[in-house]
Structure 1
């Protein structure tokens, strides 16, 4: 079985099931994909990640997704890193971004809004409708942090006197919990 954009999307969704199984099930129906196809994509991705013959980092993503439509550089604090982004059909308003260190190692990979953060109201917190930067910039005092599993992220914030934790997988909003 070849591994392309569809399988990559399914691999991302496999991890998203950790926090929002229902949204992933809906997406599988929309894609005409089965749970077995989701599991098979994840299994193949895992094998590729551990294979000595498979290209890694940006080269591996290029093999799967094609050349990135956007490549550039960004500064984060005192670090400058390379950036590559791809549009994926399952998330048409977002781009999958990879940040690379000076040695070409993947430092981070997640969804971003390609034209800057979107201002959100509390009611706009809809699964798969926003990214980390949207939530972090929309709620004063919001604090970002790592989640409890690989590729998980959280943003803690207060709204109308209640503390919340927004949970993300690959930077894509999954659910909101009271903190």
Structure 2
């Protein structure tokens, strides 16, 4: 089997996003891949997501080169979130919580890096806006669908009062469209 690494995992994340072409194509170029390679590498990574003993150790090994060590990282307990820096998304971090059983991921999603000071305003645009930003920019938020790495909502924009549909993958906005 080929050695799997951070680039392969990023290709897997990108493949599952079903991202708009205008975002996916430049990201593939950053990762040195095309859509065929993305599909192949994503399939290989996907095989490691099956619930089984030791899966968290395999995934941590795949992602180890991208791990962000913070504070007492050496003392982290099973189940504590671990953050990774991915070159394809340099403004964000990818946070993973591994199940204490060692048999699965508990959660995995994009987050903003921890920075001192108040949060900065964020554009409501694909790959700039996170699911965690919803309450600050929208009201009357209603979950439409929540499944695996995907989530979609309808919500009212606080500034324009426009009702919108928002689709997220890995906690990162993929699509926003006004509703009639």
C-alpha displacement at 1:40, in angstroms? Answer: 0.9
Q: Which residue of 2 aligns with 1:127?
A: 126
Contact 1:144 1:153 in 2 (8 A): no
Q: CA-to-partner distance for each residue in 1:116-148, whole Å, 9 max, x for gaps?
A: 65423xxx22221121112x1322425364746
Q: How many residues align?
A: 165
Cα 1:106–1:43 shift into 2, 3 Å: closer
Q: Secondary structure of the equivalent of 2:90?
A: strand
Q: Which residue of 1 aligns with 2:13?
A: 12
- Give the unaligned 5+ runs of structure 1: 74-80
Q: Which residue of 2 aligns with 1:78?
A: none
Cα 1:146–1:110 shift into 2, 3 Å: farther
2:40 paired with 1:40: yes
Distance 1:60 1:143 in 2: 37
The normalised TM-score by structure 1 is 0.76
2:62 paired with 1:64: yes
- Give the unaligned 5+ runs of structure 2: none
Distance 1:144 1:69 in 2: 33
Q: Which residue of 1 aligns with 2:164?
A: 164
User: After TM superposition, where is structure 1 displaced by more than 6 Å over at least 4 residues in a row?
Assistant: none
Distance 1:108 1:50 in 2: 14
Aligned match for 1:97, one of 80, 91, 95: 95
Contact 1:146 1:152 in 2 (8 A): no
Q: CA-to-partner distance for each residue in 1:131-172, whole Å, 9 max, x for gaps?
A: 1112x1322425364746531123432122321122111011
Q: Secondary structure of the equivalent of 1:69?
A: coil
Q: Secondary structure of the equivalent of 2:96?
A: strand
